Amino acid sequence: MTVRSSENCSFQYWVHQTHQPLNVSSLLFLITFGKTLLNILTLAMRRKNTYQNFMGYFCISLAFIDLFLLVNISIISYFRDFVLLGIRFTKYHICLLTQIISFTYGFLHYPVFLIACIDYYLNFSKTPKLPCKCQTLFYVFTVILIWISVLAYVLGDPAISQSLSVQDAYPYPYQCPFYVSIQSYWLSLALVMILLVVLITSWSEVVTLVQAVRITSYMNEAILYFPFSSHSSCTTSSKKILLPKLIVCFLSTWLPFVLLQIVILLLQVQIPAYMEMNIPWLYFVNSFLIATFYWFNCHKLSLRAITLPVDPFVSWKCCFIPLTVHNLEKTETPVSVIIC
């Protein structure tokens, strides 16, 4: 593994070369096909009654880009050597196209994270909301703009163009260098470290909650029910009460993914950017951001008047039910007990 950098650009990336036993086009097809199936499965599993947000639209756009890559790899692999619009396409372009998309994906982590933060900040603030159609057009325009901007940067950067041209020296089809973005590494490390610090500081409260939490039905939806607290109003001090509930809700959905991130970070696994930027990862970040903004804006939240972004995978509503519904145990029958 070598690290390459340039004085004219502000990025770093890792180059990893392998002597791949399979033809590179077949290997890339299998990887992209598996990722496309994962995209479809993840989008199908999400809850439908969610509010519009930037992350949701970006995930859909990412699914289309992955499908575009899969279709192009399939076409080039099938025809092998053909001319389209005066451009000759060969199997060499499979590696080239995947590398361009890898660089594009690699530079998207920070911008997507930042825009998602701004989007949730505006949703949690008292700024006037746009009409539904205008909001949809705004999100679509933002997603298209970010894709075009990052792609233009990748294609226009001399250092990246030089690194792409170097692949002519590789004995294709048995080698194809792939690129690992440093952005995803630092973002994963930051999220995992924050989760570990919060979990350690709230460990006793989390253990107590896990021992008492139950699964119950609320408004025809299965949720986690936490014991009622005497702090019925959401004040500044109730952030300490809300934090362990947010942790339990988050980890009840994303614990396997968190453990996977820890293993990847500890073993320093080199994952190509075209694989690392995926829809489950984006929804993991999305849940983290929603929990963060829920905690910081605890005093603004109300169960009966909640018009805030809803997570496609985590039901955060159960974190606030004990703060507003005192007689839930009398009106709803618990489905089961997790830990007695």
Q: How many residues does the chain have?
A: 340
Asked whether the beta carbons of 52 and 137 are under 8 A apart, the reply is no
Asked whether the beta carbons of 110 and 23 are under 8 A apart, the reply is no
Count CB atoms within 10 A of the CB of residue 80. 10
Token pair 């970040």 is found at 285
- What letter does residue 313 receive in the DSSP assignment? S
Helices (H), the chain: 24-45, 54-79, 92-106, 109-124, 132-156, 158-165, 182-201, 203-212, 239-267, 273-276, 279-296, 321-324, 328-331
Token pair 């692999």 is found at 77
pLDDT at position 320: 61
Asked whether the beta carbons of 147 and 63 are under 8 A apart, the reply is no
Q: At what angle do helices 182-201 and 109-124 cross, to 10 degrees?
A: 50
- How many structural domains is the chain composed of? 1
Domain extent, residue 284, equals 2-337
Burial of 292 (0-12, 13-18, 19+ CB in 10 A): middle
Asked whether the beta carbons of 232 and 169 are under 8 A apart, the reply is no
pTM of the model: 0.80
Asked whether the beta carbons of 90 and 295 are under 8 A apart, the reply is no
Q: Which of 167, 158, 123 is nearest to 293 (CA)?
A: 123
Separation in Å, CA 275 to CA 121, 138, 257: 29, 28, 15
Q: Which of 29, 20, 32 is nearest to 174 (CA)?
A: 20
Q: How does strand 87-89 pair with strand 82-84?
A: antiparallel
pLDDT at position 166: 57
Q: Two tokens at 309?
A: 């972004």
Spell out, as residue ranges, where the chain has pLDDT lower than 50: 1-22, 169-174, 230-237, 303-306, 323-340
User: What is the Cα–Cα distance from 60 to 142, expressed in whole angstroms?
Assistant: 13
Q: How many CA atoms lie within 13 A of 91 on its CB side?
A: 17
Tell me the torsion sign for CA atoms 190, 290, 56, 259: positive
pLDDT at position 204: 87
- Transcribe 295-336 into DSSP letters: HHTGGG--STT--S---SS--GGGGTHHHH-TTHHHHS-EEE
User: What is the Cα–Cα distance from 75 to 214, expressed in whole angstroms?
Assistant: 52
Count CB atoms within 10 A of the CB of residue 17. 12
